[in-house]
C-alpha cells in the first residue's frame, strides 16, 4: 500500500451491494508512517435489514447445500484467495505487520478454509447430520431415539479484533459456512481496510451464494438489538468489551449463543529439569522471544508471563536480553527488520499506560521507550515500541502481572520453586487461551498438564523431539479448540467438527427404527429390511437403497475351522486352543476366534464375480458380543447403512462412492446345540457386529 494513497471511505457490503458509510467516518492510519489512508463509517446501514437478509436470502441457499457441497465451496474460495494473496500482503504492511506476521494472518486464515473444506468428507452427503449412537428405548427395539443436527436458521454475527484482520474473519466464517449458516462480519475498524480487501475478493469470486457474507467496516453499535434465538454471536477482543456484549439484554432475552475469545495472560513455563546446556533451554528462549515479537506482541495467545525455576532467573534474563538485542524494529519492507509496529498510535498509548501500571509493582529489566532504534521509519510517527520485560521477584504477592495485560511486546519474568508452584502461578491468570511448558521430563509435563489444564484452553508441551515441527505456543490450529475458561472468555472456536456443531441445532428424535431410518437416511438397527433378487455387490452406487439387506446362507463352525485359522493367522491364544485353561474365564469350551467369525461372515456375504464394488475400504465399530463354539451355526444379515458420495479428483478418475454396510453375524443354531453348550442365545441373536465400507462404482461416470 502506498503512503500516497488518497483518503477514501471503505465500503460496507450489505443487502447484496457495496455501500460507503455516510459522513466523514473514522480516520484510519498507516501504522508505519502515521499517514491517514482511509475512513470507515457504517452510518446509514440498516442492521435489522442486514440480519433479515442473511436469514431469508443467504441462509436458505446455504441450507439447501449438502456438507460436501459446502466443503467444496470453501476449497474453491481458498484457492481463489491464494491467487490474490500478494495484494493482501501489500495492504497488510500498513497494519505494521512483517511478512512473517502477515503470513500467519493471511495464509493462516486461508488455511482455515482449506482445513474446514477437508472436513466435508467426515459428514454425510446430506444437508444435515446425525450424531452419536442410537438410544434403545424399548425391550423389543421397536422404539428408539437418536440425535439429528440441522443448520440454525439465523445468522452468525462475528465481532473481531484488530490484530488479525484476515485470520479473524476466515477462521470463523469457514466454520459457520460449512454448517450452512450465513455471516455478518464486523472487523475492528482500525485494520478493517485489510478485511475489506479480502471481502471484496470473496464477493467478486461469485463462489458464495448471495447473502452468505455481509461486512461492516464502521461501527456496529446497535446490531445486537436485532438478534433472535436462532442467531449466533461470537466476539474476539478485550475481556472488558466481551463482558459488556455478553450481558446485552437482547442476548439474554432471546437466549442467543455467545462465544467469547478474550485476550488473556498466557504463560510459558521452563521445567525445573532444564539446564542451560540442554536443547530445551534454547527452545524456551526462542519460543518466548518469538511470542513477544511476533505481531509486536499483539496476539491474544502471546506469552505475558514467563515462569522459570528460581535458580534459572538470571540465566534466562541474560539469554532473553541477548536474543532481543538482535531484534531489529522498523519498516517491515526494509531488509533485516524482524518486528514491525503496533497497529496504531491509539494502541501504543494504551500499551504505555499498562506498562506504567505494571511498573508500580515490578521492575523493567529489558527495554526502554526512549532508547531504541527504528530502521527505515520515523519512530515518532509510526506506532513503534521496543520489547519490554519485567522482573517480578515475588509473584505471589505482587499480583498486577496476573491481572493487567499490556497488549504489545510486554512480558513478566517470575520465579517458582516447585512444579506445584508453577501450576499455582499459571492459575493466577484466572483462565487463559494457552499455556506452554518446555521440559525434557515427561513426568513433569504430566504433572503440569493435569494440574493446570482446568484453567487453560490449550497446553503446548515442547521438547527437542517436537520443537522443529511444532507450530508454537501462539498458534491455534483449525482442528483443535481455540478458547479458554475464565478471563479467556469461556468460549470455543474452531475445533474441527466440534466447532461446526456450534452452528447446528441438535434435536432428539424418537420413533420406530424404520421411521428413523427414513428420516435420517442412515439405517437404524432393527429397521425393516429391503430385500431384492439381485446381490447388493452387483448394484451401482446410485441403485443401492438404505436398508437394503442380504440374508446369507449359513455356516456351521467346526473344530477344524478354529485350528486352521490359528495356523493361518498365528493367533494361538489359549481360549481357542487349550480346553484345560478355561477355568475362571467366560468360556464353556474352546471358542472360535472373533476374527474368524468376521472373516467367515465375509465369505458368506461377498459375491465373487466382478461388479461395481471396487474394493473394501475399511472396517468400523467391530464388536464380538457372544461366544461361538464348534457346532454352532452362523449367518449374516448384510444391510446397506449409509451412502457417502465421493467427488472425482480429475476427469480420468472413476466416479464412485463409499457405502457403509452393517455386518450382523447372528446365531442360527438348533436349540439342541445351544442347550448343549449352555449358550445364552435365542435363535437370531447377534454374536458379532461390524460396519464395513466398500468403494462402489457409479453408473453415471460423468458425476
The set of catalytic residues is 261, 300
**Distance between CA atoms of 467 and 461, rounded to whole angstroms?**
9
User: Residue 202, exposed/middle/buried by CB under 10 A (0-12, 13-18, 19+)?
Assistant: buried
Would you give the distance in Å from CA 683 to the centre of its chain?
Answer: 46
User: Residue 74, exposed/middle/buried by CB under 10 A (0-12, 13-18, 19+)?
Assistant: buried
Which helix H or strand E contains 493, and what residues bound it?
strand 491-494
**Distance between CA atoms of 496 and 516, rounded to whole angstroms?**
27
Q: What size, in residues, is the chain?
A: 703
CA–CA–CA angle 375, 381, 385 (5° rounding): 60
Considering just the CA atoms, what is the radius of gyration of the chain in Å? 31
Beta bridge partners of 84: none
User: Are the C-beta atoms of 313 and 415 separated by less than 8 Å?
Assistant: yes
CA distances from 271 to 79, 416, 431 (A): 42, 10, 21
Q: How many helices (H) and strands (E) does the chain have?
A: 20, 28
Taking alpha carbons only, the member of 269, 388, 279, 413 closest to residue 324 is 388
**Distance between CA atoms of 629 and 21, rounded to whole angstroms?**
79
- The DSSP letter of residue 397 is T
**Distance between CA atoms of 279 and 273, rounded to whole angstroms?**
12
Beta bridge partners of 18: 13
247 Cβ contact list (under 8 Å, min separation 6): none
CA–CA–CA angle 568, 574, 579 (5° rounding): 110
3-state DSSP assignment of residue 400: helix
**Distance between CA atoms of 235 and 245, rounded to whole angstroms?**
8
228 Cβ contact list (under 8 Å, min separation 6): 51, 154, 254, 256
Burial code (b: 16+ CB inside 10 Å, e: under 16) for 363-393 equals ebebbebeeeebebbebebbbbbbbbbbbbe
In the sheet where 232-237 sits, what is the strand order? 17-20, 11-14, 213-215, 183-186, 156-159, 232-237, 258-262
Would you give the distance in Å from CA 415 to the centre of its chain?
Answer: 34
CA–CA–CA angle 99, 102, 108 (5° rounding): 125
**Distance between CA atoms of 155 and 139, rounded to whole angstroms?**
42
CA–CA–CA angle 161, 402, 317 (5° rounding): 100
**Distance between CA atoms of 138 and 154, rounded to whole angstroms?**
36
**Distance between CA atoms of 104 and 277, rounded to whole angstroms?**
32
Strand pairing of 363-366 and 388-391? antiparallel
**Distance between CA atoms of 403 and 693, rounded to whole angstroms?**
54
Which helix H or strand E contains 133, and what residues bound it?
strand 129-136
User: Are the C-beta atoms of 447 and 453 separated by less than 8 Å?
Assistant: no
**Distance between CA atoms of 434 and 83, rounded to whole angstroms?**
32
Beta bridge partners of 130: 148
Which helix H or strand E contains 636, and what residues bound it?
strand 633-645
Amino acid at each position: 500500500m502506498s503512503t500516497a494513497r488518497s483518503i477514501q471511505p471503505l465500503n460496507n457490503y450489505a443487502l447484496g451491494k457495496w455501500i460507503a458509510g455516510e459522513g466523514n467516518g473514522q480516520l484510519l492510519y498507516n501504522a508505519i508512517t502515521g499517514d491517514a489512508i482511509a475512513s470507515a463509517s457504517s452510518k446509514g446501514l440498516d442492521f435489522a435489514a442486514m440480519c433479515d437478509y442473511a436469514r431469508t436470502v443467504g441462509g436458505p441457499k446455504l441450507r439447501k447445500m449438502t456438507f460436501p457441497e459446502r466443503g467444496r465451496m470453501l476449497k474453491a474460495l481458498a484457492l481463489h484467495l491464494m491467487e490474490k494473496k500478494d495484494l493482501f500482503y501489500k495492504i497488510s504492511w500498513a497494519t505494521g505487520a512483517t511478512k512473517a506476521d502477515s503470513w500467519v494472518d493471511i495464509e493462516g486464515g486461508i488455511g482455515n478454509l482449506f482445513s474446514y473444506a477437508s472436513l466435508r468428507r467426515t459428514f454425510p452427503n446430506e444437508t444435515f447430520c446425525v450424531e452419536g449412537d442410537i438410544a434403545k428405548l424399548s425391550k423389543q427395539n421397536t422404539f428408539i431415539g437418536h440425535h439429528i443436527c440441522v443448520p440454525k436458521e439465523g445468522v452468525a454475527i462475528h465481532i473481531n479484533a484488530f490484530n488479525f484482520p484476515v485470520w479473524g474473519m476466515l477462521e470463523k466464517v469457514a466454520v459457520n459456512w460449512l454448517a450452512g449458516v450465513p455471516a455478518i462480519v464486523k472487523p475492528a475498524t482500525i485494520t478493517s481496510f485489510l478485511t475489506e480487501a479480502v471481502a471484496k475478493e470473496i464477493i467478486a469470486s461469485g463462489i458464495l451464494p448471495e447473502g452468505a457474507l455481509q461486512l461492516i467496516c464502521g461501527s456496529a453499535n446497535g446490531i445486537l438489538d436485532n438478534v433472535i434465538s436462532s442467531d449466533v454471536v461470537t466476539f474476539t477482543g478485550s475481556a472488558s468489551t466481551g463482558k459488556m456484549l455478553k450481558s446485552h439484554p437482547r442476548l439474554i432475552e432471546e437466549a442467543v449463543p455467545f462465544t467469547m475469545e478474550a485476550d488473556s495472560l498466557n504463560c510459558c513455563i521452563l521445567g525445573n529439569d532444564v539446564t542451560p546446556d540442554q536443547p530445551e533451554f534454547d527452545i524456551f528462549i526462542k519460543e518466548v522471544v518469538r511470542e513477544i515479537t511476533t505481531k509486536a506482541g499483539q496476539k491474544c495467545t502471546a506469552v505475558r508471563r514467563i515462569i522459570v525455576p528460581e535458580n534459572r532467573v538470571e540465566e534466562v534474563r541474560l539469554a532473553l536480553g541477548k536474543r532481543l538485542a538482535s531484534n531489529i524494529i522498523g519498516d517491515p519492507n526494509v531488509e533485516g527488520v524482524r518486528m514491525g509496529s503496533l497497529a496504531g498510535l491509539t494502541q501504543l498509548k494504551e500499551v504505555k499506560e499498562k506498562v506504567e501500571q505494571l511498573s508500580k509493582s515490578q521492575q523493567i529489566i529489558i527495554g526502554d521507550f526512549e532508547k531504541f532504534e527504528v530502521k527505515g521509519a520515523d519512530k515518532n510517527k509510526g506506532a513503534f515500541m521496543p520489547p519490554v520485560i519485567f522482573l517480578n521477584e515475588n509473584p505471589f504477592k505482587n499480583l498486577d502481572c496476573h491481572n493487567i495485560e499490556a497488549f504489545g511486546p510486554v512480558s513478566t519474568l517470575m520465579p517458582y520453586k516447585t512444579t506445584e508452584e508453577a501450576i499455582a502461578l499459571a492459575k493466577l491468570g484466572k483462565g487463559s487461551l494457552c499455556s506452554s511448558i518446555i521440559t525434557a521430563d515427561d513426568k513433569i509435563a504430566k504433572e503440569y498438564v493435569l494440574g493446570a489444564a482446568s484453567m487453560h484452553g490449550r497446553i503446548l508441551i515442547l521438547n527437542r523431539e517436537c520443537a522443529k515441527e511444532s507450530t508454537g505456543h501462539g498458534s491455534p490450529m483449525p482442528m483443535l479448540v481455540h478458547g479458554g475458561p475464565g478471563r479467556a472468555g469461556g468460549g470455543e472456536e474452531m475445533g474441527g467438527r466440534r466447532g461446526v456443531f456450534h452452528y447446528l441445532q441438535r434435536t432428539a428424535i424418537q420413533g420406530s427404527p424404520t421411521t428413523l431410518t427414513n428420516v435420517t437416511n442412515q439405517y437404524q438397527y432393527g429397521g425393516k429390511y429391503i430385500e431384492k433378487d439381485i446381490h447388493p455387490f452387483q448394484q451401482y452406487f446410485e441403485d443401492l437403497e438404505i436398508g437394503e439387506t442380504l440374508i446369507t446362507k449359513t455356516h456351521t463352525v467346526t473344530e477344524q475351522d478354529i485350528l486352521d485359522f490359528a495356523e493361518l493367522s498365528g493367533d494361538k491364544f489359549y481360549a481357542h486352543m487349550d480346553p484345560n485353561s478355561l477355568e475362571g474365564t467366560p468360556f464353556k469350551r474352546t471358542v472360535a476366534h472373533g476374527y474368524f467369525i468376521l472373516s467367515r461372515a465375509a465369505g458368506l456375504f461377498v459375491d465373487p464375480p466382478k461388479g461395481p464394488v471396487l474394493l473394501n475400504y475399511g472396517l468400523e465399530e467391530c464388536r464380538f458380543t457372544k461366544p461361538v463354539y464348534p457346532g454352532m451355526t452362523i449367518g449374516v444379515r448384510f444391510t446397506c447403512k449409509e451412502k457417502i458420495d465421493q467427488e472425482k479428483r480429475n476427469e480420468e478418475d472413476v466416479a464412485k462412492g463409499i457405502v457403509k454396510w452393517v455386518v450382523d453375524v447372528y446365531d442360527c443354531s438348533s436349540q439342541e446345540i445351544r442347550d448343549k453348550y449352555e449358550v445364552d442365545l435365542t435363535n437370531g441373536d447377534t454374536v458379532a457386529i461390524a460396519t464395513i465400507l466398500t468403494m462402489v462404482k457409479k453408473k453415471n461416470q460423468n458425476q
